[in-house]
Amino acid sequence: MYKKKTLLGITYEFHSLKEIMAKANEEKSGDELAGISAENMKERMAARVVLAETTLSDIRSYPVVALEKDDVSKLIEENVNEEIYGVIKNWTVADLREYILDDKHLSKELLQIGTGLTSEMIAAVTKIMSNLDLIQAASKITVITHCQTKIGQKGVLASRAQPNHPSDHLAGIRASLFEALSYGIGDAVIGINPVIETTDNIYALLNETKDAIDRFNIPTQNCVLSHISSQMRAIERGAPADMIFQSLAGTQTGNESFGISISMLEEAASLIFEKGTAEGPNRWYFETGQGSELSADAHFDVDQLTLESRCYGLAKHFNPFIVNTVVGFIGPEYLYDSKQVLRAGLEDHFMGKMHGLPMGVDVCYTNHMSADQNDMDNLSTLLSNAGVNFVIGVPMADDCMLNYQSLSFHDIATLRNVLGVSAAPEFADWLEKQGLSVSGQLTKQAGDPSLFL
């Protein structure tokens, strides 16, 4: 694909769809590191004008990663609803944006149109949308999923309790979990990032979380976020797992760098449905984040937003219970500061929802990034207004195992209070029975983990 555009007396030339997509992106340090970003704002605007005029069929005709060399490309292509695509294929990217933002088109219409789009088309329209566009569009989309319980309802802000410990000490994990529960956190999942990847340890962590769930009749689900192979060994041994977890990349080579393949994911899906402990149809937890393909030298000169969208195309195939973009975790090499993290968080959330996914966001940053906790307050407030399915809470907003900053348990309780949203219905009822909440408002007992001792 060759395109050119003259703006303010300067003609800008683009020699491929990949180049147009990359240069139309908002400024990102990862794209600059890859050497594919626009040289200046004028070139960025020229690329956006060209992209807005590009038809959806043009985007499908010029794959950014060749189908014959990449199984993610092939899977995305195979999952397109051809009947819907046939109706919209001659739309420009600008036409698609107008359809999405039209007040007449709500969740049903957007989810339906999403089935006829490739991940690259969703990425393209994202690049010509403002932050407010991304919030407005995502807020219209409702995605309800069911593992042991259901989340995603309108007016619900669910949460993951992340009781990590620097040595996987079970008593320490228990203490963090009890504090989370006392603030009403943990309705999406009780999920632990382990330090030790042995089968014995994963088995012990799954049993520890399941024991707490059973002992206090907590309406939620458990998960241990180790490599998929160690979870599979633990489940084969009889460990009680409601969900199975894996990080995803947007290219086959990127996934190979994670030590996974689509066939391995298919095998794990069969296992969790055969031997998992959940009752519902959604039993996957996926995590993603802009920049992972670049860090694995698996990006093929494709920009990080487009590759992130392709992660969602892959995740969609497995009907997950939750998908989480760990938006600021990977560091300033890929998202330099709070402005870039905020933009990426809104982009990822919108793109996931357009894929029909139950999107959550880990609102976070690393300590060597130009960001602070007030920036996390801003992003979590914007995402909550955009209808994010869940966010993540750690003690005092400081993960002592992964060494990064996220939201505190109290931050999430405050978001619910300020915005008038609640925990997932079954979990909200449980909070009332525990005396931690009355009519949706936390009681004076909230924040006291000794209630569970």
Residues comprising the binding site?
160-162, 193-194, 246, 287, 295, 362, 401
Residue carrying the six token digits 């008038």:
420
Residue carrying the six token digits 């089935």:
115
The binding site for substrate comprises 160-162, 193, 287, 362
Which H helix or E strand runs over 411?
Answer: helix 409-419
Residue 310's alpha-carbon distances to 78, 162, 413, in angstroms, are 13, 26, 33
Residue carrying the six token digits 């990663």:
65
Cβ-proximal residues to 37 (8 Å cutoff; 6+ apart), any chain: 22, 23, 25, 27, 28, 31, 303
Residue carrying the six token digits 């979380």:
209
User: What's the burial of 425, exposed, middle or buried (CB within 10 Å: 0-12/13-18/19+)?
Assistant: middle
Cβ-proximal residues to 431 (8 Å cutoff; 6+ apart), any chain: 184, 423, 437
DSSP-derived 3-state class of residue 378: helix
The binding site for adenosylcob(III)alamin comprises 194, 246, 295, 401
Residues 284/264, Cβ–Cβ less than 8 Å: no
User: What's the burial of 215, exposed, middle or buried (CB within 10 Å: 0-12/13-18/19+)?
Assistant: exposed
Which H helix or E strand runs over 442?
Answer: strand 441-442
Which H helix or E strand runs over 347?
Answer: helix 338-354
Residue-wise DSSP of 192-250? E--S---HHHHHHHHHHHHHHHHHTT-S--EEE-S-HHHHHHHHHTT---S-EEEE--S
